[in-house]
Structure 1
């Protein structure tokens, strides 16, 4: 019987899905990143037993996070972390960011964000389909940079 991984193992799990989801030597694109992110998003982890303890975030827009404005698609998984008394301590977020040189077309997409929480009783399928539709304009565009990281917030 396999054990349920802890949120601290999530970054490695996402990296594994990204590596497994594309042929060797091919770059990461929205077309191959999205299915890998969904496989990662459907994997069960052992988050804190609190409402909204395990969520998926899809967001994009033109942002200047690095000193240069880039159109950024940020695919995030967020886990609630509690202290020894079971009180909220922080969130652990695992990010996959696809950054594109801004163009009038990409800037015309504006900004968007949407959450899905595993414990909210909904089906991830309709949410995933709707988010995939928003990625279609990026499927054939190579990102300028790709960042994969985790942070405490």
Structure 2
């Protein structure tokens, strides 16, 4: 069974070595988002992208996120986010693409969320480009 602690390694194994084909990673990420994670009360998904200078250099970040709310017994403990983050050179056609779209299970069907994301130009344009790299990491927020 998938747990919050092993979610990162589980997703990395699912994605494998094919990390520069954004569409394939997206399909794997979508399938992973439908899987149950032990202790998860509801699915929380985020698609976000934009040009940022987190490292001192402007880059375009194209990020699929699954968020986990962690409880110890019945008390809230913390949140963790598992990122599938593609990084691109910030070419002109990416410069003005910025979006942050959350999905919470109570919002409705997750498949409708995925379809809505796939229609966005912020999703479509980077899908056709080759990323510099993919980073898969989990962090406590």
TM-score normalised according to structure 2 size: 0.88
Deviation at 1:140, TM superposition (A): 2.2
Deviation at 1:27, TM superposition (A): 4.4
Q: Which moved more, 1:61-70 or 1:93-102?
A: 61-70
The residue aligned with 2:96 is 108
**Contact 1:13-1:40 within 8 A present in 2 as well:** no
Q: Deviations over 1:17-74 (max 9, x none)?
A: 212xxxx6x542322111011011111112354xxx5311100011111221111011
TM-score normalised according to structure 1 size: 0.82
Runs in 1 of length 4+ with deviation above 6 angstroms?
none
**Contact 1:47-1:79 within 8 A present in 2 as well:** no
Q: How does 1:21-40 map to 2 (within 5 A)?
A: 26-40=18-32
Equivalent of residue 56 in structure 1, options 36, 45, 67: 45
Q: How does 1:18-97 map to 2 (within 5 A)?
A: 18-19=15-16, 26-49=18-41, 53-84=42-73, 86-97=74-85
The residue aligned with 1:13 is 10
Deviation at 1:94, TM superposition (A): 0.7
Count of matched residue pairs: 139
- 3-state SS in 2 of match to 1:7: coil
Deviation at 1:121, TM superposition (A): 5.4
**Contact 2:19-2:25 within 8 A present in 1 as well:** no
Question: Gapped runs of 5+ residues in structure 1?
Answer: none
Deviation at 1:99, TM superposition (A): 0.7
The residue aligned with 1:99 is 87
Deviation at 1:141, TM superposition (A): 0.7
Q: How does 1:112-151 map to 2 (within 5 A)?
A: 112-118=99-105, 120=106, 122-134=108-120, 135-151=123-139
